[in-house]
Structure 1
Amino acid sequence: MTADATVRRATRERHDAIVGLVREGVDGVELLAERLGVSASTVRRDLSQLQRQGRIARTYGGALVPEVFHERPFTESELINRAAKTAIGRVAVDMVPPEGTVFVDAGTTCLALAELLVGRGPLTVVTRGLEAAVLLARAPLVEVVMTGGRVQPLSHGVVGPLASLALDRLHFDVAFLGADAVDAERGLGEPTVEETWVKEQAAARADQVAVLADSSKLGQHAPAWVAIESTWTLVTDAAAPVDEVERIRARGVRVRTS
């Protein structure tokens, strides 16, 4: 066996070991380096390559295997890709018309948008996110409408018949949707069918629809899906995988990067 072939084999074996460790819950760069007996920089390079191959998804300081859906608590999600989410919010806020009515979904990326809407009134914001409602209720020129329903314990989003009943009676200039996963073929991924149904209803009542998702969400797996329409816009960050972005664009979806 040549030296190059030996190196390639060692790399493949290390990559397989990383995926196996991540499946077991060992997801920190330093811990992976320690378990594998290599440097942290080597692990970071390996994680980047595995991400491009679609075998893992990068997270804040580590990785997860996309085949295993992992819904994070809101407080944990807030710590992941914070700068990217803020940048996405800055792009999305320019889509809000003066004195308009918008739907803002639950989730930390949509909350980054809500933070920028505080000073954008007069404006009406309908939301199913508890944190967004509390934040915007303090803004003097923003009228806040909270959809009713059952609160999801991890995402703090509201779902169920009461939320559907409220959405049936509303219209939006723009609906801003979050997602736990974005896939060119399947659409927006969420933990439950109820959450995809709320998104579908909000989108159906909007003149424009924008999906706000940081790069870690692209190409991921989820238990339930809602299709992306070709008239929608995806707002993501510059670290989004180029191949995945191109697949989404091929579906007719406009993609804007922060």
Structure 2
Amino acid sequence: MATARAGTRTRHATLLTLLGAGTTQVDELAARLGVSVSTVRRDLERLKADGQVERTYGGAMATAPFHERSISESARHAGPAKSAIAHRALELVPASGTVFIDAGTTCGALARLLAASTTHADLTVVTRGLETAVALADAPDIDLLLLGGRVRRMSHGFVGPLTDLAIDRLGFDVAFLGADAVDPVRGIGEPTLEETTVKEAVAARARVVAVLADASKLAAGETPAWTRMPAPWRLITDDAAPADLDRRCAEAGVTPDRAR
């Protein structure tokens, strides 16, 4: 019995190593471990109960302590997922009106798509993100408004009293928000209270709120601050999102949307 328990612990450790290295699908994990698919599923459920993994469709991902990525580091992460999310978000952009596009690489991907679009005329875009602003600066059919304030070096996003003052005088048909972490119940997790203040203010002034977050943000760990999101809001993520996301969203009044 002791040998069996030791074997299970060793297998769990190997599973976590494989997940951390990017092997996430049950079939592939079973093949790498030389065990049955049902054994891997049981192991993943045990690791999930211990808070060490999050289940996804057909697999799992390892959880980790929160780590704020710099904008350059984030640009190297989950490129295909962010592209799919941006394409899905583009469908929510009205032909005219006023939208807010946040700082961050996924919102930047949306901005690049919007800059190349020929179906959005007479559109005003408000942003606090430097990369988002650069992507839209030469778009001929877009009136671009860049919020003022202090630039956070990690996110290249404006924060502070000047940012808050500008938002207080605006309203949005749709607001697209980025996130360092997302939980359907708790909202958006951020590294600073200044970031949560900006997102709360934007969300409160938008008719429609869509949070753009790849699946890793759903298992990003505990963040220092959380944004209280006014219900209802939409979460646009990707196919690697945890298997229980729909249930958690339904309980919180959030609309989940998996981009493909």
Asked whether the two chains share a fold, i.e. TM above 0.5, the reply is yes
Residue matched to 1:114: 111
SS at match of 1:144: strand
SS at match of 1:83: helix
Residue matched to 1:12: 9
Q: Is the 8 A contact 1:203 1:209 kept in 2?
A: yes
Give 1:42-57 correspondences, 5 Å limit.
42=33, 49=44, 53=48, 54-56=51-53
Residue matched to 1:222: 223
RMSD: 3.2
Percent of aligned positions that are identical: 51
Q: Is the 8 A contact 1:177 1:209 kept in 2?
A: yes
Q: 1:111 to 1:151 in 2, by over 3 A?
A: same
How far did residue 73 of structure 1 move? 1.1
Q: Distance in 2 between matches of 1:182 and 1:75?
A: 21
Q: Is the 8 A contact 1:104 1:176 kept in 2?
A: yes
SS at match of 2:244: helix
Give 1:178-257 correspondences, 5 Å limit.
178-220=178-220, 221-257=222-258
Give 1:45-84 correspondences, 5 Å limit.
49=44, 53=48, 54-56=51-53, 65-66=63-64, 68-84=65-81
SS at match of 1:91: helix
Q: 1:17 to 1:87 in 2, by over 3 A?
A: closer
How far did residue 50 of structure 1 move? 8.2
Q: Distance in 1 between matches of 2:124 and 2:189?
A: 27
Residue matched to 2:58: none
1:69-102 Cα deviation digits (max 9, x unpaired)? 1001111111111111111111111111111210
Q: Is the 8 A contact 1:102 1:126 kept in 2?
A: yes
- Give the structure-1-normalised TM-score: 0.81
| Larger relative contact order, structure 1 or 2 (CA cutoff 8 Å, min sep 6) | 2
- Give the structure-2-normalised TM-score: 0.80
How far did residue 245 of structure 1 move? 3.5
